[in-house]
Structure 1
Amino acid sequence: MRIGQTSFVVFASKLVGSALGFVATLYFARTLGAAVLGHYALVLAIVGWLALGGQLGISSAIVKRISEGEEPAAHFTAGMIVVAALGLVLSSGVLALRGVVNAYVGTQVALFVALLLLIRLASSVVNAGLKGERHVHISGFLMPVQTGFRSAFQIGLVLTGFGLSGMLLGHAIGAILAVFVGAAFLSIDMIRPSRRHFRSLFDFAKFSWLSGLKSRSFNDVDIVVLGALVPSALVGVYSVAWSLATFLTLFDSAVSSTLFPELSHADASAEHDRVAGLITDSLTYGGLIVIPGLFGGIVLADRLLRIYGDEFTQGAAVLGLLILASLVYWVSETADERVERA
């Protein structure tokens, strides 16, 4: 599938997923309030940071090695083993320190953190396998699938009175169902890897984990810090404003997801002219939505947040700044960084 077509499929998938998530978040905001949304956002932020430690760049290494076409099954199996081992260690640590985790979030969530961490890592391996096989459009399609399952189960559980537990359990169910759907499209067989396959993954991962750290810092470090400084209700308000701001980066992230395996494949084939052309195109169209969205978001910030409820309007002042931050982040994704990823 051509880059433009694949990018559009991934973007459309992300758009549908975001729309489903928007409806679900709107319902939760009006039904449960900002405090519960704050707890939920903190749990997901913790899981995101722990998942970074559970991958250590291995997911990117899986994409890289599979896309090169050399012994993809062995590299995929090796990556799955490493991520599974790290996931078990980290989830066990969460359960051992459940008191600290619960105290930080403000409610009993340690078991959900451990469960969601394992599911997040399983999802990262499946998505890496699909991207490595250059099935980025299928990987992108999993987002609305996961969001649809997740939202349906969350709303159903909240309606029956489960509150935050229902949101977290629904999130887990939706994510694991998406993992099963994605695994069904994988054509990679599992074989016993040798030591050199693990070494090959680590040779790439020891550099690529920095890219994951940058992305994670941009996405969740603010919520993690706020969780230690302000009440959970304010964290909920901030998370809603941030979700609106990140909506504007969907197109650029779609292009970036599509570009990585294609760059890797072209580089392995020594098609350097094609690499240059792909990077130029990605930088040309990356800001198609985020730049005009900056001005629209600043003007309409108060109206956008008012639909969530009166307590969320206090976040209108920061929404414009968050959109501006999204624009700055897009600009920082230079051509040199995109080449380095491949």
Structure 2
Amino acid sequence: MDFTRSSLKLFASNVGRTTIRFLGIAVFARALGASEMGMFFLFQALLGMIAIPADFGFRGAIEKRISEGRDQSTYLTSALAVKLVPMALVVGLILLFQDAINGYIGAEFAVFLAVAIVIQDVSRLSTIVLRGELRVGETAILRVTRWVVWFGVSGLLVSQGMGVEALIYGLLAGLSVMLVWGWYRVSIPLGRVSLEHAKSLFEYGRWGVISRVGWYFYSWMDVAIIGLLMTQADVGAYEIAWRVTLVVMLLSRSIATTLFPQASRWDAEEAYERIEDMIRKTITPSMALVIPSFFLTLVYAREILGLVFGPEYTVAWLVLIVLMGEKLLQSVHTILGRSLQAVDRPDLAAYATVASITVNLVLNVVLILEFGIVGAALATASSFVLNTVLHAYFLSQFVTIEFPWLEIGWLTAAAAVMAGVVHAIGVVVPIDTLPRLLGIIVVGVVVYALLTLANSSMRRKFVAEMQSLARGVAE
């Protein structure tokens, strides 16, 4: 597997799907309003929560075991057989407590939730298998297609006067296309069910499920608690700010996704020096988009929310700044977290997750009651500081982590100068329309890129990566 080619291919996919999703959220936020968008976000929050017991950590275990290159058919078949039990239990519980679920969301969507969890779990499993086969780049088109279908179906239904249920129909349609196409591309045939292999998956998955719980807490717990303690409009405003910050993580997540199966293979071969070298080389590009985005947000947080989504979302401007600052840590955590799991220590990742979950839960309740949606952002950021530090400590027990301080320092200085330039322009030319906002962002990107490439070391690294990509495309 060509690491650079796969990472950039996945990055291109992430740019495509995130652009489509971001555009869809912006359009639907204006058409439906904060309250109805809040219902959709609460539906997604519950979908994320119930996906954890429905999967029970098996997706991560499947990727790990298949990427090791041994008994792939047996592992896949055993996982499918075992997953039927928690899936059936979760669907049954949803139907049993559908009245409470409908009341929490604000509409009768419990049945849709039961259907969505089945389609989502099976469709995601196909991409996990492809990644385990070291065919990470081939999952790119699947991820884009899902959100193209979502945007198209939802947009059509909204234009016909349908409300928030249009977004849910679109979500189900996108997942269904991903399910069919994904399993069509999987090359591993079904084999026999093995109790021994199922036990191996469970041993890995029982720790992986804790990490999945941690990811849910990080992604959705703040929204879930806001839904309990505040209004659906508050949920909508907070989640819009959160979605903006996800855009800057595209490259980081692409790199981490590509890193895991390759590092897992090297772990099986005990090639730890290669893992160390990969970690060192991937930290800088992982932070390359996040650093300038944070500085740009410091200057234009209100304008980004108000001009793109609508005036009612500007209440979350400080939330946007806090969450964008938190993404600085997450860009490093994505590399460290996936590396720790790749060296077959999901138990240590689970310990770090449990600690951060505890902090997250307590701080969310306390700080939301005190500071509202800003408190939720502070709670999430604080818990992720602890999570990142613990992952770095545990991973350092197995491999040497070399942090590229000089390169990160140069990127930070370039971003700070960029922020000064765009602020000065904003003083002279008020940023009060969407075209002007997009224009100032383009100016910031150009200034940051020129300053970054002014460093000879950064320039050589960029040229080397582009040459590697060109060779991969030529092949």
Q: Same fold (TM over 0.5)?
A: yes
Q: How does 1:146-157 map to 2 (within 5 A)?
A: 146-157=146-157
Distance 2:17 2:338 in 1: 27
Q: Residue type of the partner of 1:246?
A: L
2:328 is the counterpart of 1:327: yes
Distance 1:12 1:199 in 2: 37
Instruction: Give the 3 Å change call, closer, same or farther, for CA 37–227 of structure 1 in structure 2.
Output: same
Distance 1:80 1:279 in 2: 33
- Cross-structure match for 1:61: 61
Q: How does 1:1-342 map to 2 (within 5 A)?
A: 1-306=1-306, 307-333=308-334, 335=336, 338-342=339-343
Higher mean Cα deviation, 39-48 or 272-281? Answer: 272-281
Q: Residue type of the partner of 1:279?
A: I
| 3-state SS, counterpart of residue 33 of structure 1 | helix
Distance 2:84 2:127 in 1: 15
Q: Residue type of the partner of 1:162?
A: M
How much does 1:239 deviate? 0.9
Instruction: Give the 3 Å change call, closer, same or farther, for CA 332–262 of structure 1 in structure 2.
Output: closer
How much does 1:337 deviate? 6.1
Q: Deviations over 1:7-27 (max 9, x none)?
A: 111111011101111111111
Structure number with higher relative contact order (C-alpha < 8 Å, ≥ 6 residues apart)? 1
How much does 1:271 deviate? 2.1
Q: Deviations over 1:31-73 (max 9, x none)?
A: 1111111000000011101101112211011001111111101
CA-based RMSD: 1.5
Alpha-carbon contact 2:256-2:335 (below 8 Å) kept: no
Q: Deviations over 1:92-147 (max 9, x none)?
A: 11111001101111111101111111122112211210111011112233221100
Distance 2:303 2:249 in 1: 21
Distance 2:278 2:340 in 1: 10
When normalised by structure 2's length, the TM-score is 0.70
How much does 1:334 deviate? 6.3
Higher mean Cα deviation, 297-306 or 253-262? Answer: 297-306
Q: Residue type of the partner of 2:288?
A: L
Higher mean Cα deviation, 273-282 or 179-188? Answer: 273-282
How much does 1:213 deviate? 2.2
Structure 1 unaligned runs (5+)?
Answer: none
Higher mean Cα deviation, 195-204 or 274-283? Answer: 274-283
Distance 2:337 2:65 in 1: 21
Distance 1:7 1:290 in 2: 17
Q: Which aligned segments of 4 or more residues in structure 1 are displaced greater than 6 angstroms? A: none
Count residues in correspondence.
342
How much does 1:338 deviate? 1.8
Q: Residue type of the partner of 1:76?
A: L
Distance 1:335 1:158 in 2: 41
Alpha-carbon contact 2:158-2:166 (below 8 Å) kept: yes
Alpha-carbon contact 1:138-1:182 (below 8 Å) kept: no
Structure 2 unaligned runs (5+)?
Answer: 344-475
Instruction: Give the 3 Å change call, closer, same or farther, for CA 46–274 of structure 1 in structure 2.
Output: same
Distance 2:263 2:82 in 1: 25
Percent identical: 27
Q: Residue type of the partner of 1:39?
A: M
Q: Residue type of the partner of 1:187?
A: S
Distance 1:109 1:325 in 2: 32
